[in-house]
Structures are given as C-alpha cells and as structure tokens.
Amino acid sequence: MWHSEHLETNTIHGGKDGQGQHGPLSTPIYQTSTFVFDDVQQGASRFAGEAGGHIYSRLGNPTVDELEARMALLEGTEAAAAFGSGMGAVSAVVLGLLKQGDHLVTSHRLYGCTFALFNHQLPAFGIEVSFVDLADEAAVRAAIKPNTKVIYGETPINPCLSVADLDMLAGIAKAHGITTVIDNTFMSPVLQKPAKHGIDIVLHSATKFLNGHGDVVAGILCGPKDLIDQIKMTTRKDMGAIISPHDAWLIIRGLKTLHLRVERHCENALRVADYLQSHPLVKKVDYPGLPGHPGYKLLGKQMKAGGGVLAFELKASFDQAVTFMNALKMCKRAVSLGDAETLIQHPASMTHSTYTPEELSEAGIPQTLIRLAPGLEHVDDIIADIEQALGAAAKQATQAA
C-alpha cells in the first residue's frame, strides 16, 4: 500500500492495494452482500479467523477496506472501522467500551443526538454519565471516579465551537487508565490529528467534510488495532450499523479533494466570522480562528486553522432570528456541514432540540444562536446573502418599535 509523509498525497493514494486484475484507476465498488468460498475448509478457516479473505459484507468488504485503510493513514492510527452513520459509530464505540456499572465523562455540549444517547439511553443500560466542561481541567479531574472508563468529547464542540485541550484530556485519562474518544468531525485530519496528542479513538461523521458533497451518511472510527478489531467483531457486527460499498466509494472519492476543500472552507469561515463580529446586530461570534476566541491559543499547537464552521449569537429577539433565517436566499437552511453549499441552522430548534430549555441554558446554547458552515461559493456572495438577511431582521425590529 502507498504511504507518504504528505497528507495531500495520502488522501488520493492511501490505502490502495495495487490496481487489481484490470488496472482500474478508480476504486472498484464491490457491490456484493456475500463472498464465495473455494471449498468448505476455506469457509471454515475464514470464520475461525485462521485465514484472510472476505465472508459477508457486514463483516468486511474490499471497497470498505480501502476507505478504512486510508482513514487510518490520514489520522495516524493503526486501524479504522467504517459505519452506516456517524451515530452508528458513536453508539458502537461507547457500547463496545462500556458495560453496566461503568462511568462516562463527557461534555455538557454535544451534538444533539449524541447528547440524547448519553443522557437518555446509556443510563437505561446502567451506565453512569457525567456532563462537564471539557475545556476546564479542574472540572474534568473532579468528574473522574474509580469506575470511569471513557472520556468522550468533541473539539471544537458542536454548536458553540469551544475547544478542549487534547493533551490535557489525554494526560488525565492515561493517569487513570481511561480510554479517550474524540469526535474530530469539525476539523478533519487536515487540521487536527487527535491521536498525535495521545487520544485513543478518533471519530468522524464522514457525512461532513470527509465526503463533502452532501450525498452520503456515514461514520468512521480510527484507533489502535486491538480496540478497532474488538468493536468490529462485537458492536458493529452484532448491531449492524454497516456502511454500504457504494457509500464507502463516495467517501473515497470525496477524500481526494479533502485538503483543497478544507482550505477554502477555512478561508471563507474566517472572512465571514470577521464580517459578523463587526455587525451591530451580532452580539457574539464563536470561531476558533479569531484572536479573541479562547481556543485561538491552540492554533499551531493542536489545530492548523480555525476550521470551516462558526456560530454567532444575534443581538435580537427569537422572532428576529427566525426572520433572519427565513430571509436567506443562497445559504441553505440545512443541518449539516462540510458541503459545497453554505449551510445554516438554528441549534436550539434543530440539531440540539433534544436538549430541554434548562439543558440548553446550562450548555450555553441561547435561542438566538445560529450555526453557519460556509461553503465553497465566493465568499463575497456568502457575506452579501447574510447581510441582506440581517437587514431584514433589523427592519423587523424597527417596525416593531
């Protein structure tokens, strides 16, 4: 397999195992549910794990194998496992690492469905969960218990873009024999490699930057081979959150332009964030690429850039926030990120609607917070659309007065 010291090369060539019998440039899609054995003995040896080769696409598939090999290379880990959704990956890793009586430490700010899984489902299985500010070292240390088995977090954190120090989290975890899991979706391996900072398992919603074209739902776990193999042969195999070969191929295709797309996303996000922080209707802009952001100090140490997602709080009423959202023309009201199109959403009523009003308040997610994922359009067009929509919201306030 091809390995390079340069990410730009690995996004294109990483994980390829020759060109096959017919020499295709594009990775073949092995669109098959099952694989034929030469004889009973071969089938038995594969099921026993004594011989290589494929059995059934829920257990492994050559197209998926290439995606997993490439992602492990990009994240700097020994192995990777692909899933049918980001939440499939989240569920598989936490249920694969935790059992009844165990304790999970996680962030009080999380993607809404991850929060729902941790807050509502895990306690039903007898798994204790503590929600803390992962950017606060004292709070993390105070949350550790004798039965703590996993620290799980996102950085930057969805939707407020706060940043957790990976070296700090890994140091605390290793001192207590705790496994760390970090969702790296917002950064991608282009901007951040958690494993280099001592994180055990790196998670992605591959739906986002990795694919980049808004036509796949998928998830990825990257980590040590023993842990990834354990998850593949337990919670992924038995719960069945399997990625299809065609979806794996679409992500492989998307990865070829990942570094180029992420560069443009970051450039556009910084320009938009700079514009927003000077607008009179904007109360606050959350973007790690701005010097005033608390996570800015980790640029260069942990992150290469501020990323392609930002959030901003309007100095307005909830009705004005709705007016702003509805007045947008080019920017698409949709709950994802990392696509060619600029996507914008209202966390309190959309991605984080699983939070109660009290939980939203505790997590610092106000009703006028907007999350924006600038796309690949010309940045002047993105800003122009936002400006006219902010004008509509300001006009509503004037009329109301």
Q: Could you tell me how far CA 204 lies from the centroid of its own chain?
A: 4
Catalytic residue flag (residue 111): yes
Report how far residue 122's alpha carbon sits from residue 129's, in angstroms, rounded to the nearest whole number: 8
The helix-helix angle for 245-255 and 62-75 (nearest 10°) equals 40
Cis peptide preceding 24, ω within 30 of 0: no
Task: Calculate the dihedral angle through the C-alpha atoms of 376, 381, 387, 391, rounding to the nearest 10 degrees.
Answer: -120
* Secondary structure (DSSP) of 68-135: HHHHHHHHT-SEEEEESSHHHHHHHHHHHH--TT-EEEEESS--HHHHHIIIIIGGGGT-EEEEE-TT
Q: Which of 70, 109, 193, 208 is catalytic?
A: 208
Residue 297 identity: K
- By DSSP bridging, strand 332-333 and strand 343-345 are parallel
Catalytic residue flag (residue 371): no
Catalytic residue flag (residue 208): yes
Q: Which of 30, 102, 111, 339 is catalytic?
A: 111
Task: Calculate the dihedral angle through the C-alpha atoms of 336, 338, 340, 345, rounding to the nearest 10 degrees.
Answer: 30
HSE of 301 in the Cβ direction (CA atoms, 13 Å)?
A: 11
Q: Which of 102, 133, 165, 183 is catalytic?
A: 183
Catalytic residue flag (residue 58): yes
- Enumerate the active-site residues: 58, 111, 183, 208
